[in-house]
Amino acid sequence: MKKETLVLAYSGGLDTSYSLKKLSQEGYEIHAVSVNTGGFSQEEIDTIEAKAYQMGAFTYQNINALEDFYQKIVKYLLFGNVLKNNTYPLSVSAERIIQAIEIVNYAKKVGAKYIAHGSTGAGNDQVRFDLIFQVMAPEIKIITLIRDHQLSREEEIKYLKAEGIDLPWEKAQYSINQGLWGTSVGGAETLTSHLPLPDAAYPNPLTEKEPIAVSLAFEKGELVGLNGTKGRAVSLIQQLQDLAKKYAIGRDIHVGDTIIGIKGRVGFEAAAPLILIKAHHLLEKHTLSKWQQFQKEQLSNFYGMQLHEGQYLDPVMRDIEAFMERSQERVSGKVFVKLYPHRFELEGIESPFDLMQAEFGSYGEMNKGWTATEAKGFIKLTANATKIYQHLNPKQ
């Protein structure tokens, strides 16, 4: 009897390993798939592949989605200067969207009737995965053993040992999820409201103490050069990360509202994303009008929230992306940055589209484009609406 085809989102961790072994025992033909969004070395891929076959996978596939991740998501997070709650560059939530899309596309390719993932019922990822799967392939049934059976780590380990799988599954003191757009860090401290993460929890220790200057070149909002060398955005982001992580830049703890309605706290380290977002934002301050910046802030905040909550496939997201693409037409030039231990400074920009033009006046110094009389008239007219209101409502 032909086995039913099932695609499993496989990380190599305990939950997905349990799911793989259990489902293979139940008679499914399992295609284990992991999606590389920036956190895999070749050695790690080889280890995950070997483990997948040990657990009973029919096939294993590692999909390199770095370029798609950048083109479909990261680019717009940069265009929008997106920081959730003014803090977090959406490192993990952004990855989960592209991972879910790649997995469901693979499931369609192999004709799978089932998709499985290892999410629990207490986190955001279950929502992101299920939303994408349901919208893109409503005909494919979703299986989530860990969530549906409310399994504990101890129960999973006991089952695997009984099946002859006796690997070290000790839970690491800190869970690390590394990708192109930052690394999340979870531990006992992030389950509290008051404890900070210790230095040792972060993956990149401080190894450089002498400040260095960095120049970032942008064309139409996209990173195209680092220190005078041109390149593709993904490679440049990785190079900037390798440079800046030695200064232990980009560490913080994000506190926010989860999709399932509870507050959550997570540490992260995102040197390159934070430098790029702040540098790009500075360039926009010089090259965009006041109202362009205002409208972008509203739309970008909404875009980040929808992405975080798994609503990437809603058509409003494509509408906002079109707006952001158009807003970047003149966001070109260089941004000069200096890296220090644990911090960075934006020193200035250079752009042919810089709207800071001295011939029209120097702020706080001298007016060249208008007279004193014109300034007084402008101020008087600007005050009219409020003067009328206050005249009629003196007690307020």
pLDDT tens-place string over residues 99-139: 999 999 999 999 999 999 999 988 899 999 999 999 999 99
pLDDT tens-place string over residues 23-45: 999 999 999 999 999 988 899 99
What's the rounded Cα separation, in Å, for the pair 250 and 348?
20
User: Average of pLDDT values for 220-244?
Assistant: 98
Q: Which of 162, 190, 222 is the last residue of a domain?
A: 162
Residue appearing with tokens 């644990």 = 342
User: Average of pLDDT values for 302-308?
Assistant: 97
User: Average of pLDDT values for 142-169?
Assistant: 92
Domain that holds residue 41: 5-162
Residue 317 has pLDDT above 70, yes or no: yes
Do 60 and 158 reside in the same domain of the chain?
Answer: yes
Do 346 and 367 reside in the same domain of the chain?
Answer: no
323 part of a folded domain: no
Residue 61 has pLDDT above 90, yes or no: yes
Do 126 and 79 reside in the same domain of the chain?
Answer: yes
299 part of a folded domain: no
Q: Which of 132, 162, 192 is the last residue of a domain?
A: 162
What's the rounded Cα separation, in Å, for the pair 212 and 243?
10
What's the rounded Cα separation, in Å, for the pair 189 and 266?
9
221 part of a folded domain: yes
Do 274 and 376 reside in the same domain of the chain?
Answer: no
Residue 70 is predicted with a pLDDT of 98
pLDDT tens-place string over residues 347-363: 999 999 999 987 766 67
Q: Which alpha helices (DSSP H) does the chain contain, by range? A: 14-25, 42-55, 66-69, 75-79, 91-109, 125-136, 145-149, 153-162, 233-244, 271-287, 290-308, 315-327, 372-392
Amino acid at 372: A
**Percent of the residues in the chain that have a pLDDT greater than 90, as a whole number:** 89
Do 146 and 188 reside in the same domain of the chain?
Answer: no
Do 157 and 70 reside in the same domain of the chain?
Answer: yes
| Three-state secondary-structure class, residue 92 | helix
Tell me the average pLDDT of the chain.
Answer: 95
| Three-state secondary-structure class, residue 41 | coil
**pLDDT class for 258, splitting at 50, 70, 90?**
very high
264 part of a folded domain: yes
Judged on CB neighbours under 10 Å (0-12, 13-18, 19+), 388 is exposed
Residue 364 is predicted with a pLDDT of 67
What's the rounded Cα separation, in Å, for the pair 129 and 207?
38
Q: Which of 128, 162, 196 is the last residue of a domain?
A: 162
Q: Which alpha helices (DSSP H) does 111-220 contain, by range? A: 125-136, 145-149, 153-162
Residue 361 is predicted with a pLDDT of 65
**CA–CA distances in Å: residue 140 to residues 29, 233, 312, 342, 382:** 15, 35, 19, 47, 60
- The torsion region of residue 132 among left (phi > 0), alpha (psi -120 to 50) and beta comes to alpha
pLDDT tens-place string over residues 179-199: 999 999 999 999 999 999 999
**CA–CA distances in Å: residue 90 to residues 96, 212, 255, 267, 277:** 10, 27, 12, 12, 12
User: Average of pLDDT values for 207-236?
Assistant: 98
Residue 342 has pLDDT above 90, yes or no: yes
169 part of a folded domain: no
**Could you tell me the CATH number of the domain that includes residue 266?**
3.90.1260.10
Residue 9 is predicted with a pLDDT of 97
Would you report the helix, strand and coil content of the chain in percent, each value rounded to 5?
45, 20, 35
320 part of a folded domain: no
Do 212 and 66 reside in the same domain of the chain?
Answer: no
Residue 254 is predicted with a pLDDT of 96
What's the rounded Cα separation, in Å, for the pair 292 and 141?
44
Do 212 and 278 reside in the same domain of the chain?
Answer: yes
Q: How far apart are the first and last CA of the chain?
A: 81
Closest C-alpha to 215, from 379, 52, 344: 344
Residue 2 is predicted with a pLDDT of 75
**Could you tell me the CATH number of the domain that includes residue 127?**
3.40.50.620
Phi/psi at 113 (nearest 5 deg)? -95, -15
Do 124 and 181 reside in the same domain of the chain?
Answer: no
- Secondary structure (DSSP) of 283-330: HHHHHS-HHHHHHHHHHHHHHHHHHHTT-TTSHHHHHHHHHHHHHTTT
What's the rounded Cα separation, in Å, for the pair 127 and 140?
16
Do 67 and 136 reside in the same domain of the chain?
Answer: yes
236 part of a folded domain: yes
Residue 395 is predicted with a pLDDT of 83
C-alpha torsion 210→215→216→220, nearest 10: 160
Question: pTM of the full predicted structure?
Answer: 0.94
Tally of domains in the chain: 3
What's the rounded Cα separation, in Å, for the pair 90 and 86?
11
Do 48 and 16 reside in the same domain of the chain?
Answer: yes
311 part of a folded domain: no
Closest C-alpha to 275, from 296, 251, 310, 292: 251
Do 157 and 212 reside in the same domain of the chain?
Answer: no
